[in-house]
Amino acid sequence: MISATQRRVFWGLVWFSILVLSLPTIIVLGASVTSGNMIAFPPEGFSLKWYEKIALARDIRGAFGRSLIVAFVCLVISVPVGTFAGIALTRYRLRFTSLIQIYLLLPFTIPLIGSGIGMMLVFGNWGILGHVWPVGLACAVINLPFIIWSVSSSAAVLDSDLELAAANCGAGRIETFLHVTLPGVMPGVITGGLLMFVLAMTEFLVSLLLTDARTVTLPVQIYNNIRSIITPDLAAISSVFVVVALIAVWLLDKLVGLEIFLKSK
């Protein structure tokens, strides 16, 4: 940026964006440690009593546990499926590649409410509605393009001569896969798995459609509580998500570096 005016205008807008993006998070963190019974900013005194309250609340612990189950089911389904698909798309010559790509992008192109309602009808027909694990399956479906994308981008830079060399040295197909292909795409698998886990933890709309009063996940629990009353214990639950997000960003930065998202293709 050469001109001072431009710098001032752009940085002004950037600071406004940072404020808009971060202020709600900071306020939530602040509100969660208030010692008063009302959400107020600045908080009236410091106390961790709301954390104690949510740690003891049975419905919240249950919802948190179910969210973890959903995230794990999503991980267990999506990581192998996404890894194989990502490898297949980059390392094998397939016909109709662009058609397959459009098909595999359906989870992104169908609006979330449409996917959610559709899966609600399908799961209802299969008689599995009312369990927790179908929510994990649904999360795996709607976020699948993320892991396929991250595995494909690491598989694309893997030299295919390495696999031929392994085979040439007498390695079988499983051995080649386990010792050459899989380690090669591992960064993509880990990044994709991380995305899938966190997105399943925070998934709201599809959970709302697929759960009932006995199987609510944590985001749905927060949503239901907000509609009744806003108290600081909700801020404490929300802070749990902030911590999860902080860990996720830190891990993502350590594993692949956040700057990778700025590269032009």
Partner 1 sequence: MTTDPDNSDFRYPLRWRLMDGAERLLEIVWPRRFGRFTGWLLLLPALLLVGILVLGLWQMAESSLHVLDRNTFLPSEEYTLSNYGTIWQSATYFKVIWRSVQGAVWTVVFTLLLAFPFAYVLVRTPRAWVRKLLLIALFLPFFIGQVVRAYGILIVLGTSGAVNDVFGLIGVGPYRLLFNFPAVVFGLVQYMLPFAVLMLAPALTSIPQETETAASSLGANWLRSMRHVVLPMAKPGIVGASLVVMTLSLTDFAMPAMLGGGSQDFIANAIYDQFFRTADQGLGSALALLLVALGSVLVAVIIGLFGAGTLGMGEKK
Residues 5-24 that bind partner 1 (CB under 8 A): 5-6, 9-11, 13-14, 16-18, 20-24
What are the structure tokens assigned to 70, written together? 């959903």
Q: How far apart are CA 222 and CA 234, in angstroms?
A: 7
Nearest residue (CB) to partner 1, 47 versus 205: 205
Nearest residue (CB) to partner 1, 132 versus 144: 144
Question: Which of these segments, 54-62, 68-76, 185-193, 249-257, binds partner 1 (CB under 8 A)?
Answer: 249-257
**Half-sphere exposure for 78 (CA within 13 Å, toward CB):** 36
Residues near 90 by beta carbon (within 8 Å), at least 6 away in sequence: 152, 155, 156
Overall residue count recorded for the chain in this entry: 265
Give the x/- contact pattern for partner 1 in 120-159, rule: CB under 8 A. Answer: xxx--x-----------x--xx--xx--xx--xx--x---
Q: Which of residues 39-98 bind partner 1 (CB under 8 A)?
A: 39-41, 77, 80-82, 84-94, 97-98
Residue 204 CB neighbours (<10 A): 14
Residues touching partner 1, count (CB under 8 A)? 110
**Interface with partner 1 includes 198 (CB under 8 A)?**
yes
**Interface with partner 1 includes 37 (CB under 8 A)?**
no
Q: How far apart are CA 265 and CA 261, in angstroms?
A: 10
Q: Which of 120, 128, 132 is nearest to 215 (CA)?
A: 132
Question: Which of these segments, 44-52, 55-63, 171-179, 183-191, binds partner 1 (CB under 8 A)?
Answer: 171-179
